[in-house]
Amino acid sequence: MKSFHNPVLLNESIEGLNINENGIYVDATFGGGGHSLAIVNKIKLGKVIAFDQDIDAISRNEINDKRLTILNQNFKYLKNGLDSLGVKKIDGLIADLGISSHQLDTDHRGFSFNANSDLDMRMNQKSSVCAKQIINNYKAEELNKLFSEYADFKNPKNITSHILERRIIKEIKTIKEFTEILSKTLRGPKKNQLLARAYQAIRIEVNKEIECLKELLLCGLKLLKPKGRIVVISYHSVEDRIVKNFFRYGGFNSFPQSGIYKNEPSPFSVITKKPIKACIKEIEINNRARSARLRIAQLK
């Protein structure tokens, strides 16, 4: 399993679920199965229901246990998936957002700026929208917004202008071509980090990751039993802010929902006042853990 995906903050996230050995748990992002396996090892009569839209991840599953069910669906369809299994309420939910090590290392998927492939970046390989379409068809203001919000670039217009100049001449089709364009602006000792952020921004847009995350959190709120927990590991400031505000206020804005006379309390008790981060030792073993932020909340 570890050759496929090293689970980030594994011990901290599983401990955060506060597992009931007879409970029902959802792993919203099966990936390499590390978190699912850890939950299976802690339950007796309970169940683990895992979701993954990437058929490649599911096909590589090595967990042979009747307590685990894997659904080939985006986690935004959480409720529909659980309904199909007759599950109405759950004891806990874990989501390790972002991209798996296997996806990054699979060249033809086009997730890494080091890949030798066409521009793709689809987690669901049946999806009709890929990175090539976004890079070649989005308007300037759409690209500027994308790189500003999802890559945290302060001046995205320079990147966008180079993209527009190139695609007028010919369609941008490959990772190599896109990296060459980005390299005109993204230079210096942190070039690789900047390139990774640019690719991350396109990937988030291709897979509509922010919209899916919001749907997951809203479904989780409705499906959790009292005292049930949500554990989320995020890798980007936008994701982390969404999770933080949802846990703190029960919504997606940085302020509580207001009633007519008073502010409505959050439906959650926040377990992590500050996000849990990976230790230096874990980062040395798995560099992906460097930007991980773990937040935990319990339904009141």
CA–CA gap between residue 194 and residue 181 (Å, rounded): 13
* Residuewise pLDDT in 10s, the chain (300 residues): 444 456 899 999 999 999 999 999 999 999 989 999 999 999 999 999 999 998 888 888 889 999 999 999 999 999 999 999 999 999 999 999 977 666 665 656 766 777 778 999 998 888 899 999 999 999 999 999 999 999 999 999 999 999 999 999 999 999 999 999 999 999 999 999 999 899 999 999 999 999 999 999 999 999 999 999 999 999 999 999 999 999 999 988 766 555 444 556 889 999 999 999 999 999 998 888 899 999 999 999
- Residue 50 bridge partners (DSSP): 27, 70
Instruction: Tell me which residue range forms the domain holding 273.
Output: 10-102+209-299
pLDDT of residue 263: 59
Please state at what angle helix 175-182 crosses helix 191-206, rounded to 10 degrees.
130
Per the structure, how many domains does the chain have? 2
Nearest alpha carbon to residue 167 among 180, 151, 155: 180
HSE (CB half, 13 Å, CA atoms) of 81? 23
Q: Are 62 and 1 in contact (CB under 8 A)?
A: yes
Q: Which residue has the tokens 């007759």?
A: 86
Q: What is the pTM assigned to this prediction?
A: 0.89
The 3-state DSSP composition of the chain as helix, strand, coil percent (nearest 5) reads 45, 15, 40
Q: Are 101 and 111 in contact (CB under 8 A)?
A: no
- 25-55 in b/e form (b: 16+ CB < 10 A) is bbbbbbbbbbbbbbbbebbeebbbbbbbbbe
Are residues 150 and 173 part of one domain?
A: yes
Q: Nearest-5° angle of CA 87, CA 91, CA 96?
A: 100
pLDDT of residue 126: 87
Q: Are 67 and 39 in contact (CB under 8 A)?
A: no
> In this structure, is residue 68 part of a structural domain?
yes
Burial (0-12, 13-18, 19+ Cβ within 10 Å), 76: buried
Question: Which of the listed residues 206, 236, 267 is the one where a domain comes to its end?
Answer: 206
pLDDT of residue 261: 44
pLDDT of residue 105: 57
pLDDT of residue 107: 56
Are residues 228 and 175 part of one domain?
A: no
> In this structure, is residue 225 part of a structural domain?
yes
Instruction: Check which CATH number belongs to the domain holding 141 and give it.
Output: 1.10.150.170
CA–CA gap between residue 207 and residue 278 (Å, rounded): 26
Are residues 175 and 47 part of one domain?
A: no
pLDDT of residue 152: 93
Instruction: Check which CATH number belongs to the domain holding 224 and give it.
Output: 3.40.50.150
